Structure 1
Amino acid sequence: MTFYSTSEEHLLFDAARRGDAAYIKQRIAAGANLSITDGRGFTPLIIAAYDGHEEVTRLLLEAGADPNTQDSGGNTALMGVCFKGYPDIAKLLIEKGAELNTQNGNGGTALMFATLFGRNALVKLMLEYGADTTIRDVRGLTALDLAYQQGNEEAITLLQEHNLKSS
C-alpha cells in the first residue's frame, strides 16, 4: 500500500468520491495504482463504495481493487456500506470476494455495523451469505447483543432465527 502523492492520484480519489465513472475508466486504462491510500488508509474503492457509487465500485473491483483492504481503523468497504445502507453495493463486494467476518480495530464486523445502524436489509443479506453471528467485539458483544441494545426487533428476529437454523 502506498500513500498518494501526485495530483493524478489525488484526482483519482476525487473521482471515486464524486462517482465519476468516465475518469475512473480512463485512469484504470492508464494503469492507475488502485491500492493507493490517503492519510486515513482509504482506497479509491473504499471511498466509492462508502459514497454509494455502485458503477465506480464495480469498475474498481473488475480492475483488481482489493475488496478486503482495511483503512487505518481496520474498516473495509463492506463495513462502510453496511454503515451507510447500500445493499446492492454490499452484494457486489461480497460476490467479488469481500470477507464477511473481518473485524476492525474495535472488533466490529460488517454484520455488526448493519445491526447497529438498523440496516435490516443488510443484516438479512449478510446472514444469507454466511456472516458469523458468534463474533464478539472488544466489549464482548455480538450482533444480537447490539440489536437488543438498539431495540431493533427486526434484526433480533433475523439473528435469532438464523442462530436457531445454525445450531
Structure 2
Amino acid sequence: MENVETFFSKIQSGNLEAVKAFIEDQPELIHTTDARGFTPLILASYFDKNDLAKALIDKKAPVDARDAMGNTALIGVAFKDNQEVAKYLLNHGADINEKNNHGVTPLIFASMYDKANMVKFLLDKGADKTLRDHEGKTALQHAESEGFEGVISYLL
C-alpha cells in the first residue's frame, strides 16, 4: 500500500523519472487507483503533467479508465482546456463521446465551463454535439443557460 501511495505522490508532483521507475519495477501500478478512485493517467492529466500523462499512455495506461465519478482522462482535460493531452489521448484510442456517471461527455463538460477553444477542438475531432446528459441537456443547452457566447457560436 505504501508503494501505491508513494507512486501517486510522485505522479502528483510530476516526478517523471520516479514514475517511470515505479512502472518498470511494478507494471501493475498502471492499473491501480488512489483513495479517490483516480487512475495514474487521470491524476497526471488533472494536474496538467503533460509529459507524465503521455508517458503513462505510452506505457499502455488505459485511456478510457474511469475515476469514482466515471470521468475519464479526456473528460478531465476537456475541463482543464488541455488540448495537448486531449490530442494525445484521442490519437491513442480515447473515446471522444464517452460519458461519465452523469451522462456528461468531454464536449458537454467543456461547454459547461466555457472552454470555447476545447469545444472547437473536440468538434473538429468529431465529438457528437447531439448527445445529452442525464438531465436531457446537450452541450449547446448548457452553454446557452450560462450565456457562454463563444461556446455557443461553435455549437450552432
TM bucket normalised to smaller = over 0.9
Name the structure 2 match of 1:68: 64
- 1:18 equivalent to 2:17? Answer no
The runs of 5 or more residues in structure 2 that have no matched partner are none
Task: Find the residue that maps to 1:102 and give its secondary structure.
Answer: coil
| Correspondence for 1:116 among 112, 116, 126 | 112
Q: How does 1:125-144 map to 2 (within 5 A)?
A: 125-144=121-140
Task: Find the residue that maps to 1:145 and give its secondary structure.
Answer: helix
Q: Distance in 1 between matches of 2:82 and 2:3?
A: 28
Q: Distance in 2 between matches of 1:157 and 1:120?
A: 9
Percent identity reads 37
Structure 1 vs Structure 2 CA RMSD: 1.0
Normalised TM-score (structure 1): 0.89
AA of the residue aligned to 1:14? S
Q: Distance in 1 between matches of 2:92 and 2:5?
A: 25
Shift of 1:32: 2.8
Shift of 1:25: 1.4
> Which aligned segments of 4 or more residues in structure 1 are displaced greater than 2 angstroms?
none
Q: Is the Cα–Cα contact under 8 Å of residues 4 and 34 in structure 2 kept in the other structure?
A: no
Name the structure 1 match of 2:148: 152
Q: Distance in 1 between matches of 2:77 and 2:147?
A: 21
Q: Is the Cα–Cα contact under 8 Å of residues 110 and 118 in structure 2 kept in the other structure?
A: yes
Q: For 1:93-128, what per-residue CA distance to the aligned partner results, in whole angstroms no more than 9, with x for missing partners?
A: 111111111111111111111111111111111111
Task: Find the residue that maps to 1:135 and give its secondary structure.
Answer: coil
AA of the residue aligned to 2:63? P
| Correspondence for 2:45 among 45, 49, 53 | 49
Report the count of equivalent residues.
155
The runs of 5 or more residues in structure 1 that have no matched partner are 1-5, 161-167
AA of the residue aligned to 2:126? G
Q: Distance in 2 between matches of 1:106 and 1:117?
A: 16
AA of the residue aligned to 2:6? L
Q: Distance in 2 between matches of 1:75 and 1:100?
A: 12
Normalised TM-score (structure 2): 0.95
Q: For 1:45-99, what per-residue CA distance to the aligned partner results, in whole angstroms no more than 9, with x for missing partners?
A: 1000011000000110000100100111111111111112211111111111111
